[in-house]
């Protein structure tokens, strides 16, 4: 599996989100989900929406665009005061923005009018933390001016504390905000929808207060993702604090002195380091550095000490532990480390674990429907690479017999190379890749479809043809729609040479496949063994940049529209190939 990587436990995030929504609702407060901690990662954000969040907020327009492009269904709020140069994009891509500058609001108004858009504004008030916000004494004057503008509407007041100045959002500050809101509503004849009292730092105030006053909204990020409040970073009861795991890999493991040898001058970052002589020690290097993550915010889950880091190396005193080359180590991250790891393109991101089968299946089906809508819109820049036969490759592969005579199991050139590398990785583990299917002509696809329809018909003689076709279409695409016609799709399983059998993936008996929702790749109700085997299968394909199908753990795509969509690419390069002879 790729390292370094962040493993994201979606089940834990869903749990945290639901628990917080319920908790804050108990005193009439709605929460906005703040997504900057995960850079608007659509898979994660989708979990927030499915868990009941209606408004998503991010400080970056690019993250908001990313979520929109992925078809996330929510209202979008821009957290950071808009840059005047981006005012047009702000009204185009967001529904609401937090604001504190009249000049900028005028620009928003201009572009809102131009695009016939109604843009909502929450005015930020500075209650003493001294980051963003209008000083309370200047509010009236600002509001008078904003009310004259068309296309923009003040829908709320907000404040942000405990961010720059570390000022606590306590009952005094929240009462002050309520009071200001009352005055403004009366004086300006406004009805403010949002009185947004702050962020994850408001937890202690919320728990202690008997009356939240007019405060009816909070913007919450860190509590959802890391399960803590942010005044003292104390875990919130019932929440998970380990939804994110940073994983890195040992690349050197030696016994070396604790004291550098030679004249000490500046290190790689212009500092002059100091060391103490603790004799010889077990020094381990991991493939993780400052370009991957803010290293002072990571904490090993194993009892080892971080000695230091450079751009690409993390040096560890592994104390009594024997950490061999290739071994993986897990770390917790604080919020700054999470932000940096999620931002770094060198760090792979992987979603894992759903707690509950129903939740998981709903999520898969939701994702699948969204997928069907978005797929036709993915641009294809066909690169015309050849189809090559895997059958004649000489790679160490097993081929599942095909319904087509003389089937040659063809794939595009890059896919061919990838399969070659995968087969060699499995060779080293006494395993063999089974190719179930590769490129299919329309005739082949039609044959498969008709074969399955007649099989299901025999099984359910009373069902209408329409019903049967719907059942079949769940797992076999009708002729024109299969990714297999691109040469970028491969169906695969693994044969274990030591056990002399096809591995158990939870829905198969050898090559015979039970088609049901347990075929969804991360279904929680399959055996531990089957989960491990799926993990192996999916990981070796993901390491070669394939994506696993949303519904079938054995189906992998590369280069086609499905891949482009799942992998976040702006275009695909393998379109449909109707006849192999063309190449």
- In sign, the C-alpha dihedral spanning 204, 205, 210, 212 is negative
Q: Contact region for ligand PLP (CB under 6 A) — 187-195, 220-228, 393-401, 449-457?
A: 220-228
Main-chain dihedrals φ then ψ at residue 577, nearest 5 degrees:
-115, 110
- How many residues touch ligand PLP under the rule CB under 6 A: the total is 14
Q: Which of 312, 377, 308, 477 shows the shortest CA–CA distance to 68?
A: 377
464 burial via Cβ count (<10 Å: 0-12, 13-18, 19+): exposed
Site string for ligand PLP, 45-64 (x = CB under 6 A): --------------x-----
Does the protein bind ligand PLP through residue 230 (CB under 6 A)? yes
Nearest to ligand PLP of 231, 483 (CB atom): 231
Nearest approach, Cβ of residue 77 and ligand PLP (Å): 9
Q: How far apart are CA 392 and CA 398, in angstroms?
A: 12
Is 110 noted as a catalytic residue in this protein? no
Site string for ligand PLP, 165-184 (x = CB under 6 A): --------------------
312 close to 268: Cβ distance less than 8 angstroms:
no
558 close to 414: Cβ distance less than 8 angstroms:
yes
Query: Which residues lie closer than 8 Å to 577 by C-beta, 6 or more apart?
Result: 387, 439, 485, 486, 487, 583
How many Cα atoms occupy the beta-carbon half-sphere of 21 within 13 Å? Answer: 16
Nearest approach, Cβ of residue 200 and ligand PLP (Å): 3
Q: How far apart are CA 426 and CA 533, in angstroms?
A: 13
Does the protein bind ligand PLP through residue 160 (CB under 6 A)? yes
Q: Contact region for ligand PLP (CB under 6 A) — 139-147, 217-225, 502-510, 560-568?
A: 217-225
Query: Which residues lie closer than 8 Å to 200 by C-beta, 6 or more apart?
Result: 220, 221, 222, 223, 228, 229, 230
Q: Contact region for ligand PLP (CB under 6 A) — 140-148, 214-222, 318-326, 399-407?
A: 214-222
* Binding-site member from 213, 221, 297, 575 for ligand PLP (CB under 6 A): 221
Nearest approach, Cβ of residue 67 and ligand PLP (Å): 16
Does the protein bind ligand PLP through residue 199 (CB under 6 A)? yes
Beta strands in 133-243 (DSSP E): 152-158, 194-196, 217-220
Does the protein bind ligand PLP through residue 220 (CB under 6 A)? yes
Would you mind telling me the total number of residues written for the chain in this entry?
A: 583
Q: How far apart are CA 497 and CA 222, in angstroms?
A: 47
Q: How far apart are CA 251 and CA 133, in angstroms?
A: 48
282 burial via Cβ count (<10 Å: 0-12, 13-18, 19+): middle
Does the protein bind ligand PLP through residue 286 (CB under 6 A)? no
Site string for ligand PLP, 63-82 (x = CB under 6 A): ----------------x---
Rounded to the nearest 10 degrees, how much is the dihedral formed by the CA atoms of 238, 10, 37, 550?
-170
**Residue with the closest Cβ to ligand PLP?**
221
Q: Contact region for ligand PLP (CB under 6 A) — 218-226, 301-309, 440-448, 462-470?
A: 218-226
Q: Which residues pair with 547 in a beta bridge?
A: 557
Nearest approach, Cβ of residue 201 and ligand PLP (Å): 6
Nearest approach, Cβ of residue 187 and ligand PLP (Å): 25
Nearest to ligand PLP of 98, 298 (CB atom): 98
Does the protein bind ligand PLP through residue 40 (CB under 6 A)? no
Nearest to ligand PLP of 221, 487 (CB atom): 221
Nearest to ligand PLP of 77, 493 (CB atom): 77
Q: Which of 12, 22, 36, 210 is catalytic?
A: 36
Q: How far apart are CA 24 and CA 566, in angstroms?
A: 34
Nearest approach, Cβ of residue 281 and ligand PLP (Å): 38
Alpha helices in 300-356 (DSSP H): 335-343
* Binding-site member from 99, 200, 216, 560 for ligand PLP (CB under 6 A): 200
Q: Which residues pair with 491 in a beta bridge?
A: 437, 555
Q: Contact region for ligand PLP (CB under 6 A) — 16-24, 216-224, 267-275, 318-326?
A: 216-224
Q: Which residues pair with 352 in a beta bridge?
A: 9
Kindly write down the DSSP assignment for every residue of 10-57, as one continuous string: HHHHHHHHHHHHHHHHTTT-EEEEE-GGGTT-HHHHHHHHHTT--EEE
Nearest approach, Cβ of residue 156 and ligand PLP (Å): 13
Q: How far apart are CA 317 and CA 426, in angstroms?
A: 33
Counting other chains too, the contacts that 42-47 makes at CB distance below 8 Å and 24 or more residues apart are 42/66, 42/67, 42/70, 42/72, 42/568, 43/8, 43/10, 43/351, 44/8, 44/10, 44/13, 44/351, 45/70, 45/72, 46/70, 46/72, 46/363, 46/366, 46/367, 47/10, 47/13, 47/14, 47/17, 47/363
Nearest approach, Cβ of residue 72 and ligand PLP (Å): 18
404 close to 413: Cβ distance less than 8 angstroms:
no
Nearest to ligand PLP of 196, 486 (CB atom): 196
Site for ligand PLP in 347-386 (CB under 6 A): none
Q: Contact region for ligand PLP (CB under 6 A) — 206-214, 215-223, 249-257, 380-388?
A: 215-223
Q: Contact region for ligand PLP (CB under 6 A) — 142-150, 219-227, 271-279, 522-530?
A: 219-227
Nearest approach, Cβ of residue 159 and ligand PLP (Å): 9
Per-residue burial over 549-559, b = 16 or more CB atoms within 10 Å of its CB, e = otherwise: bbbbbbbbbbb
Does the protein bind ligand PLP through residue 340 (CB under 6 A)? no
Nearest approach, Cβ of residue 198 and ligand PLP (Å): 7
Does the protein bind ligand PLP through residue 133 (CB under 6 A)? no
Nearest to ligand PLP of 231, 288 (CB atom): 231
* Binding-site member from 6, 13, 34, 48 for ligand PLP (CB under 6 A): 34
Nearest to ligand PLP of 125, 220 (CB atom): 220
Site for ligand PLP in 394-453 (CB under 6 A): none
Does the protein bind ligand PLP through residue 219 (CB under 6 A)? yes
State the catalytic residues.
36
> By the criterion CB under 6 A, which residues form the site for ligand PLP?
34, 36, 59, 79, 98, 160, 199-200, 219-223, 230
């Amino acid at each position: 599996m790729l390292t370094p990587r962040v493993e994201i436990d979606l089940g834990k995030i869903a749990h945290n989100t639901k628990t917080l929504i319920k908790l804050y609702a108990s005193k009439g407060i709605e929460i906005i989900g703040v997504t900057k901690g995960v850079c608007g990662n659509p898979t994660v954000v989708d979990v927030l929406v499915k868990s009941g969040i209606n408004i998503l907020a991010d400080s970056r327009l690019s993250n908001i665009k990313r979520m929109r492009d992925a078809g996330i269904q929510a209202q979008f709020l821009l957290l950071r005061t808009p840059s005047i140069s981006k005012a047009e994009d702000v009204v185009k891509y967001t529904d609401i923005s937090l604001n504190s500058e009249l000049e900028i609001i005028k620009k928003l108004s201009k572009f809102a009018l131009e695009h016939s858009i109604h843009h909502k504004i929450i005015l930020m008030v500075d209650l003493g933390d001294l980051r963003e916000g209008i000083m309370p004494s200047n509010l009236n004057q600002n509001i008078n001016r904003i009310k004259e503008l068309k296309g923009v509407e003040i829908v709320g007041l907000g404040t942000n504390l405990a961010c720059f100045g570390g000022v606590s959002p306590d009952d005094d500050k929240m009462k002050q905000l309520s009071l200001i809101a009352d005055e403004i509503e009366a004086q300006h004849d406004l009805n403010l929808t949002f009185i947004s009292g702050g962020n994850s730092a408001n937890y202690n105030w919320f728990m202690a207060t008997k009356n939240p006053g007019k405060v009816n909204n909070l913007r919450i990020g860190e509590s959802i993702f890391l399960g803590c409040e942010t005044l003292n970073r104390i875990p919130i009861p019932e929440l998970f604090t380990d939804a994110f795991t940073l994983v890195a890999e040992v690349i050197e493991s030696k016994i070396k002195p604790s004291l550098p040898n030679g004249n000490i001058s500046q290190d790689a970052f212009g500092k002059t380091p100091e060391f103490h002589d603790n004799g010889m020690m077990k020094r381990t290097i991991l493939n993780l550095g400052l370009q991957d993550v803010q290293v002072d915010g990571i904490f090993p889950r194993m009892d080892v000490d971080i000695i230091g880091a450079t751009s690409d190396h993390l040096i560890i005193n592994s104390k009594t532990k024997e950490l061999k080359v290739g071994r993986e180590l897990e770390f917790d991250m604080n919020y700054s480390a999470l932000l940096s790891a999620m931002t770094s393109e060198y760090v792979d991101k992987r979603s894992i674990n759903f707690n509950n089968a129903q939740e998981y299946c709903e999520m898969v089906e939701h994702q699948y429907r969204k997928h069907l809508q978005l797929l036709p819109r993915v641009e294809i820049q066909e690169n015309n690479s050849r189809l090559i036969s895997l059958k004649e490759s000489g790679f160490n592969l097993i081929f599942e017999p095909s319904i087509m005579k003389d089937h040659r199991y063809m794939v595009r050139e890059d896919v061919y190379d990838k399969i070659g590398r995968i087969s060699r990785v499995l060779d080293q583990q006494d395993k063999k890749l089974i190719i179930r299917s590769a490129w299919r002509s329309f005739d082949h696809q039609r044959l498969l479809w008709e074969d399955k329809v007649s099989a299901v018909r025999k099984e359910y003689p009373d069902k209408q043809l329409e019903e049967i076709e719907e059942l079949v279409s769940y797992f076999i695409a009708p002729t024109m729609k299969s990714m297999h016609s691109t040469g970028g799709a491969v169906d695969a399983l693994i044969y274990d040479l030591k056990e002399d059998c096809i591995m158990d993936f939870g829905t198969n008996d050898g090559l015979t496949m039970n088609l049901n929702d347990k075929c969804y790749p991360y279904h929680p109700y399959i055996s531990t063994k089957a989960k491990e085997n799926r993990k192996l299968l999916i990981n070796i394909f993901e390491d070669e940049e394939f994506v696993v199908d949303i519904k079938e753990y054995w189906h992998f795509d590369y280069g086609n529209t499905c891949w482009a969509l799942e992998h976040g690419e702006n275009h695909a390069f393998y379109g449909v190939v109707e006849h192999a002879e063309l190449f």
